[in-house]
Amino acid sequence: MNYIMSNFYVDYQKKVIFVVLIIKSKNIMEVKMTLDCKGLSCPMPILKVAKAMKDLKSGEVLEMLGTDPGTKTDLPNWCTKTGNEILEITDLDGGVTKMLVKKA
């Protein structure tokens, strides 16, 4: 978790008050492309991700939605081999998994 810490002083009626403000900052990432791989089974989700990544620039994020349980292990392995980064794997309702991949 990243935190932003800011301190400031307030002079109110000749009293100095020290205030510390800590804000949890979220890493906000913009999804550049969403790929719907629901209903597809191995190896199609990985092949579609590989093709889609060619259209992205370095640092851009691809969101892949899929239902094949094998993709939860296949995609991280593919990312390791290709140098891309898996940012998130989240199980959604209806057996759908959302995966975020950042292009190297």
Q: Hey, is 35 helix, strand or coil?
A: strand
Locate all alpha helices (DSSP H) within 1-104, ordered by sequence: 44-53, 71-82
Q: Is 42 a catalytic residue?
A: yes
Length of the chain: 104
- Chain-centroid distance of CA 28 in Å reads 8
Q: What is the pLDDT of residues 82-97, one digit of tens each?
A: 999 999 999 999 999 9
Whether 63 is in a domain gets the answer yes
Q: What is the CATH number of the domain that holds 39?
A: 3.30.110.40
The letter for the amino acid at 72 is K
Whether 3 is in a domain gets the answer no
Question: What rounded mean pLDDT belongs to the chain?
Answer: 81
Copy the structure tokens of residue 91.
Answer: 């199980």
pTM of the complete model: 0.72
Whether 73 is in a domain gets the answer yes
Q: What is the pLDDT of residues 2-22, one digit of tens each?
A: 433 344 444 445 444 444 444
Reported confidence tier of residue 46, pLDDT bands at 50, 70, 90 = very high
pLDDT at 25: 42
Sheet arrangement for strand 97-102: 31-37, 61-66, 97-102, 85-91
11-37 mean pLDDT: 62
Active-site choice (23, 31, 42, 104): 42
